Amino acid sequence: MTEFKLNRRQFALMSGASVATSIFMPAIARAQAPKAIRLAHHLQLESEQHIAAEAFATKVNDYSDGALEVTVLPAGQMGGQREIVESISLGLLEMGYGESGIYSSYVSQFGILALPYMYKDFDQWQRVVDGPVGQDLAAKLQAAGNIKIVNTLMAGYRSTFLRTRPIKTPEDFDGVKIRLPEAPAFVKTFAALGASPTPIPAPEMYSALQTGVVDAMEGSLETGFTYKIYEVCKYLSLTRHILNDGSFIINNDFLNGLTVEEQDAISRAGADVALEQRASHFDRTATWLKRLGEEGGITINEPNLVPFQQKLAALQEEFAAEAGATELLAQIRAA
């Protein structure tokens, strides 16, 4: 009897331990599982932005000691750029890639960063986006759109790809149906040049050119190559009309729900990849230009930019006045 009672007691203790383990182990596993972050963008796998996103994902995991896990969703899996930014604002997506022209839907002054021929050079652009102007606009976007800018990347100069003829003077834009992003600053720029601006999401621009829905598109040299625009356009005119920014962004509510250490990991990783991407940008752009000519067989011309600058000069003041950004315009010019 004594031996039997002892075994029953042992069995009860062992059973209790087993039950306790089955109850508490999943909770422990859940606590240790990394927090998932989806980072979406509309660009191709060869793009600088995708390379930066993959580097960001690795650094976030390292800096957070595995507490955060970033999954990159490229090539428009979550829609075009406007849709991605909207999803982040609404909290349907944690992170993504956007740019100032799109942010102007939330903060109209943001569009001033995407106006034509705004910067003398890359150094001035850096002083603007990293300085008081960029910080002020980022704070406004955080408040109005529930979107926090993690870093700012160099998206580069935008030029013009055309199906049937090159651009040599501003007058050559008259009546040209041109694909551009869904951003007011871009629309106003090409309307001022006499073109017919046609906002189309990036995933649809190849087919729009192929079927003749538009005559031309504007964009970076990288976009022209990675989207194989050279297959549907015979000409590239280096109008270099806009020096464009881009940035990784995160839903502000999601960010605030992370620990201080996790927030710091995201901030550090963002700063690191921005420095790396900016440092390599112009070398990569030279490579894209060479490949467009040699591999893509596209005809490239460099028009005199002074007439284009003169034609669009008034747009800066007009846009600034409409957006309540006259003071910001003065700060940009003084940077």
N residues, the chain? 335
Give the start-end residues of each E strand in 252-295: none
137 backbone dihedrals φ, ψ, rounded to 5°? -65, -40
Q: Which pLDDT value is given to residue 149?
A: 98
pLDDT tens per residue across span 6-30:
444 443 444 444 444 444 444 433 4
Q: Which pLDDT value is given to residue 285?
A: 96
Provide the 3-class DSSP secondary structure of residue 290.
helix
Q: Which pLDDT value is given to residue 7?
A: 45
Q: Residue 172: in which H helix or E strand, if any?
A: none
Q: Which pLDDT value is given to residue 10?
A: 42
Could you tell me which residues come within 8 angstroms of residue 295 by beta carbon, excluding any fewer than 6 positions away? Answer: 230
| Helices vs strands, H then E, count in the chain | 13, 10
pLDDT tens per residue across span 81-118:
999 999 999 999 999 999 999 999 999 999 999 999 99
Q: From the CB of residue 111, how many other CB atoms can be counted at a distance below 10 Å? A: 26
Q: Which pLDDT value is given to residue 251?
A: 98
Secondary structure letter of residue 193 according to DSSP: T
Q: Which pLDDT value is given to residue 32?
A: 73
Q: Which pLDDT value is given to residue 296?
A: 98
Q: Which pLDDT value is given to residue 24?
A: 43
- The DSSP-derived string for 82-127 is HHHHHHHHHTSSSEEEE-HHHHTTT-GGGGGGGSTT--SSHHHHHH
Distance CA 61, CA 15 (A): 39
- CATH number assigned to the domain with residue range 30-334, chosen from the 4 options 3.30.465.10, 3.30.413.10, 3.30.360.10, 3.40.190.170: 3.40.190.170
Closest CA to 300 of 236, 228, 222: 236
Q: What's the mean per-residue pLDDT of the chain?
A: 92
Enumerate the domain spans of the chain. Answer: 30-334
Q: Residue 236: in which H helix or E strand, if any?
A: strand 235-251
Distance CA 304, CA 48 (A): 28
Q: Which pLDDT value is given to residue 207?
A: 98
Beta-ladder partners of 154: 245
Positions of the chain with pLDDT lower than 50, given as ranges? 1-30
